[in-house]
Structure 1
Amino acid sequence: MSAPLRLVLFDVDGTLVDSQGSIVHSMTASFQAASVEVPSREAILSIVGLSLPLAIAQLVPQQSTTVQAQLVDGYKQAYHAHRLDLGAASSPLYPGARDAIEALHAVPEILLGVATGKSQRGLDALIEAHGLERYFVTRQVADHHPSKPHPSMVQTALAETGVEAAHAVMIGDTSFDMDMAAAAGVTGIGVSWGYHDTAALSAASCVIETFDQLPDTLATLWK
């Protein structure tokens, strides 16, 4: 009897890549250009994972929708320019990320995907910069879904791959990722190296400290 198909979904920012420098830089540039007080670094990192309009609205709820839209556009422009300047160095892969992706991809019954608050353009550019084009069979982005923690991204990934929720996991660094996984009925695996304190990952089934721990964690979940 063949093994069932499995799906491993990764968040991107704070999970696969350390993009905090680019995010803080781009938020700062956008807010300064709009003459709006720049939020603290802690506040900026707390909203990573949300879709950009929702993230801005959460950072400056007191601002008008017009100003919020200006900040969204300013962020997009600043982030794009920063990525063009630095290339892959703007969002380096975390230690062990590439090895983990390659090892999982080598297992025939395991499919890989991403579920991210990034735009389609941003995700595609990141994947190309790191040479990861061949690994992810499903790519869910903010352009086509409600913001995390709504389960739409995970539900669509399951539908695209034909994998049952019981055979899927969502790996991420924020409460948004873990709450999204729970809402979709899939197992959430938190990571300790991202942008939310591990205490916030209460919906996770477990939290790993390094990518090296991922294979054994999956084997335990799926035994």
Structure 2
Amino acid sequence: MKNRFDLIIFDWDGTLMDSVDWIVHCIQQAAARCVCPVPEAQAIRDIVGLSIENAIQQLFPDQDGETRQKLAADYGKAFFSKQISRDDLFPGVYEMLEQLRSQGYRLAVATGKKSAGLQAAINATGVADLFCATRCADQTASKPNPLMLDEIVAELGVDKRRALMVGDSVHDLQMALNAQVASVGVTCGAHSAATLRQYQPLLCLNYPTDLIGII
């Protein structure tokens, strides 16, 4: 894989940031507060990467629109109640991003978060200067639609064959497949290697930091 890529596009939650367990907790708490059936942890992990609207609809298909709006709002309030910092990134992620950038790679983020949420997370972790482009679910189509990747590649003027998507969920890797972009799965977030391999990643790694020395 060495010298094969110019652009590396990372998912955020569960890939760069160790936040999946917090997402599970916040959704379960929102369900309880809204007097809705509380989803199992794996069911919530299965929606990590989707826009919050799509995630809530998938988790609570029997609830009406007003209740789903309340669930989404309650989840958002709970999620952002936690003060985050660079320590919430997986170990070594900041140094990895710095190293990749210094080696000439262009870096981007493609996430199911809303743009305000991603900006807050990027600012809190001090990585704003390391990324050339970002796309969020409220700016374009939600994963696994390929539009998010198509827009990043077009904005940066990079050949798709020189772009790599790195993600922890099936939605990340399905998006990459749909966009005809190569992918690498990481197992530190939502899904296992066995599940991710169904979506034809080049590799499945434990953490994104394992990319160092491979690409």
User: Above 0.5 in TM-score?
Assistant: yes
SS at match of 2:128: coil
User: Percent identity among equivalent residues?
Assistant: 36
The answer to whether structure 1 residue 154 and structure 2 residue 149 are counterparts is yes
Contact 1:96 1:211 survives alignment (8 Å): no
Distance in 2 (CA, whole Å) between partners of 1:31 and 1:112 is 36
Given the superposition, is the C-alpha separation of residues 95 and 19 from structure 1 closer, same or farther in structure 2, using an over 3 Å criterion?
A: same
The answer to whether structure 1 residue 215 and structure 2 residue 209 are counterparts is no
SS at match of 2:8: strand
**Alignment correspondent of 1:127:** 122
Distance in 2 (CA, whole Å) between partners of 1:39 and 1:139 is 30
**Alignment correspondent of 1:18:** 18
Map residues 74-153 of structure 1 onto 2, 5 A cutoff. Answer: 74-80=74-80, 82-83=81-82, 86-88=83-85, 92-108=88-104, 110-153=105-148
Contact 2:10 2:108 survives alignment (8 Å): yes
Task: Please state how far the C-alpha of 1:5 moved relative to its aligned partner.
Answer: 7.6
Contact 1:96 1:210 survives alignment (8 Å): no
**Alignment correspondent of 2:180:** 185
SS at match of 1:87: coil
Task: Please state how far the C-alpha of 1:158 moved relative to its aligned partner.
Answer: 0.3
Structure 2: unaligned runs, 5 residues or longer = none
Contact 1:15 1:194 survives alignment (8 Å): yes
Given the superposition, is the C-alpha separation of residues 54 and 211 from structure 1 closer, same or farther in structure 2, using an over 3 Å criterion?
A: closer
Task: Please state how far the C-alpha of 1:133 moved relative to its aligned partner.
Answer: 1.1
Distance in 2 (CA, whole Å) between partners of 1:87 and 1:199 is 31
Instruction: Let me know the Cα RMSD of the aligned residues.
Output: 1.8
Q: Residues 61-95 of structure 1: CA distance to partner in whole angstroms, max 9, x if unpaired?
A: 11112211221122122222x23xx3327x81112
Task: Please state how far the C-alpha of 1:212 moved relative to its aligned partner.
Answer: 4.3
SS at match of 2:36: coil
Contact 2:7 2:162 survives alignment (8 Å): yes
The answer to whether structure 1 residue 67 and structure 2 residue 67 are counterparts is yes
SS at match of 2:50: coil
Contact 2:15 2:208 survives alignment (8 Å): no
Contact 1:57 1:68 survives alignment (8 Å): yes
Task: Please state how far the C-alpha of 1:166 moved relative to its aligned partner.
Answer: 0.2
**Alignment correspondent of 1:27:** 27
**Alignment correspondent of 1:221:** none
Contact 1:190 1:207 survives alignment (8 Å): yes
Given the superposition, is the C-alpha separation of residues 4 and 48 from structure 1 closer, same or farther in structure 2, using an over 3 Å criterion?
A: closer
- Which TM-score applies when normalising by structure 1? 0.88
Distance in 1 (CA, whole Å) between partners of 2:208 and 2:68 is 37
Distance in 1 (CA, whole Å) between partners of 2:66 and 2:25 is 22
Q: How many residues in Structure 1 have an aligned counterpart in Structure 2?
A: 211
- Which TM-score applies when normalising by structure 2? 0.91
Contact 2:84 2:125 survives alignment (8 Å): no
**Alignment correspondent of 1:173:** 168
